[in-house]
Amino acid sequence: MMQSVSNYIDHTNLNQTANNFDIEKLCNEAIDNNFAAVCVNPVYVPLASDMLNGQDSKVCTVVGFPMGADSTEMKFAESRYLTHQGAEELDMVINIAAIKEKNISLVKNEIVKIVDAADGNYVKVIIETCLLTDDEKKLASEIAMDAGAHFIKTSTGFSLSGATEKDVKLIREIIGSDMKIKASGGIKTLSDLKKLVKAGADRIGTSNAISMINE
């Protein structure tokens, strides 16, 4: 591993019960440990943006989360609003059914619009690998690459299962060095992180960051 473990981590709290105190704690931990980003629900973007102003850790939030079944127009409006609120990275969920129906134009148009709304900031495309066949993972990754997104993200962490080494390796084979990969979902230990980074992940989304770095 060429960089510090902390630099790989999106320190995450997307719990439904997360409150202001929890998000303040998350941000302070990110500052103290130099995590790459915090990932918070949209309602907490202004708070996180205020707390991380001038810090290295970025403010990441989610779009169309966790189902991906919002309309393109809703996802675009959400992305533009959240960017204006201070979000620096957007983790968007693709329309899973559209991938399965091979509706390439819908999926590509959606990502293109969100990349535009992000105004130069990172867009990470969540393809929810546990719901896709290998051919569908390949298709989704190729569309995201063609649409100008910056990362493929494996999972929401709210579906059947999360990131696997196999899926990270598969995605890396598809995208080469043109994009980055964020692995997320079920990543609980430092060993998990190291295996996924070795498989090709550039970023790790986890709610277990503090226990990881203290192992």
pLDDT single digits (tens) 154-183 = 999 999 999 999 999 999 999 999 999 999
> In the chain, what are the domain boundaries?
5-213
Predicted pLDDT of residue 2: 47
Question: CB neighbours (10 Å) of residue 209?
Answer: 26
β strands within the chain, DSSP E = 9-13, 37-40, 58-63, 89-93, 122-126, 151-153, 180-184, 203-206
Q: What is the DSSP letter of 70?
A: S
pLDDT single digits (tens) 47-97 = 999 999 999 999 999 999 999 999 999 999 999 999 999 999 999 999 999
Which is the catalytic residue, given 108, 153, 180, 202?
153
Determine the average pLDDT of the residues in 7-12.
98
Calculate the average pLDDT of the chain: 97
Which is the catalytic residue, given 10, 91, 192, 202?
91
Determine the average pLDDT of the residues in 4-29.
97
pLDDT single digits (tens) 84-124 = 999 999 999 999 999 999 999 999 999 999 999 999 999 99
How long a stretch of residues is the chain? 215
pLDDT single digits (tens) 134-155 = 999 999 999 999 999 999 999 9
Predicted pLDDT of residue 81: 98
192 included as an active-site residue: no
pTM beyond cutoff 0.95: yes
91 included as an active-site residue: yes
Residue 3 pLDDT exceeds 90:
no
113 included as an active-site residue: no
CATH superfamily assigned to domain 5-213 = Aldolase class I (3.20.20.70)
